[in-house]
Amino acid sequence: MKVNIYYGGRGFFGDPTKYVIRKMQSVFEELNVTVERFDLYDMKSAITTLPKTLKGVDGIVLATTVEWYGIGGYMQQFLDACWLYGDKEAISKIYMCPVCMSTTYGEREGKMNLATAWEILGGKPCSGICGYIPEISTLETNEEYDTIIEKKVENMYRSISQKFASFPASNKAIKQKISVTQNVDFTPQETEQLSIYASDEEYVARQKEDIKELTGIFHTKLENQETDDESRYIDDFKRVFKPQAGLNVIYRIRIKNFKRDLIIKVANAKLDIYYGTNEYGDVKLEMNPEILEQIIKGENSFQRMFMNGKMTSKGDFNLMRALDSIFPFVG
């Protein structure tokens, strides 16, 4: 799966939109999604070539900042280029998540404008993110905002994976009433220029350092009575354990209202399972006890619960999927 992020702000220090897309990129990468980011303010002379980068993409994020009014000139230029030069057949298969943060007013209108524009182009808009953030510190110090961002990324991931359908929008009818400029081919020189601009490896490398930042943000404030039953579920996992050669992994399952996390250590044919705190986990899961009980009863699987949004997962997505193989509760 591949997702492109197009940032239409001006790149100023403290821009809340930059913080949001940095978090989104780290979550996508944890889900093994290939991510490319394009900063439009750095590509003023190449914006008209960027529709070419939409080919082979499953989803995109259109992110911009409202500083005084509207979505800004760079993002508008990119959308104009998509209308004039974009491959409409390719666009029709692409899911788009709009992100619009405001330092003044108009974030909701901006998000709606991005979604409407993508519908007119024929694409598939997903639920987006918008907010009024006058000071970047309000984002950096509030873990609940990080959780909102992660949920949006996971929802977009599910939409793309399961190819969610949507009702037709009247906006798409505009395409049938307006004359559209035919797609144009670019010269070899323009293609070469595009390949130079369409990379942001320095930024990606810098942001990978933030991946571990999300490790402990799901520490739930226990509002209900906590359980002291620290033998629950252990025998169920031992009963169905199916060793896999060469597999060495530590799973950490956070179960709502449990004082400690369920730690599962698998080393080839050896299984060690117990309740603990602060242990490292290659894969961290979070769910309600009712969901885990459905899995243990064979009524569902770990992967289906994740895809349905009934549990969250952080870490290597392939290792998360391996849970259903080493613990085959579903017969």
Mean local confidence (pLDDT), 295-321: 88
Is domain 234-326 in CATH 3.30.1050.10, yes or no? yes
Residue 188: its pLDDT value, please? 45
CA atoms in the 13 A half-sphere facing the CB of 70: 6
pLDDT digits (tens, 9 = 90+) for 74-111: 999 999 999 998 999 999 999 999 999 998 889 999 99
Measure CA of the first residue to CA of the last residue in the chain; give whole Å: 29
Q: Which of 62-71, 209-218, 237-246 has the lowest mean pLDDT?
A: 209-218
Mean per-residue pLDDT of the chain:
84
The confidence score (pLDDT) of residue 44 equals 86
* pLDDT score of 39 more than 90: yes
Which listed CATH number (3.40.50.300, 2.40.110.10, 3.20.20.60, 3.40.50.360) goes with 2-214?
Answer: 3.40.50.360
**Overall average pLDDT of the 191-199 stretch:** 47
pTM exceeds 0.85, yes or no? no
**Whole-Å CA distances, 289 to 49, 255, 256, 263, 297:** 50, 6, 6, 15, 12
Predicted local confidence at residue 191, as pLDDT:
47
pLDDT, tens digit (0-9, with 9 covering 90-100), for 246-297:
889 999 999 988 888 999 999 988 999 999 876 788 899 999 999 999 999 9
Whether the per-residue pLDDT at 149 is higher than 70: the answer is yes
Mean pLDDT calculated for residue range 123-148: 91
Domain boundaries of the chain, sorted by first residue:
2-214, 234-326
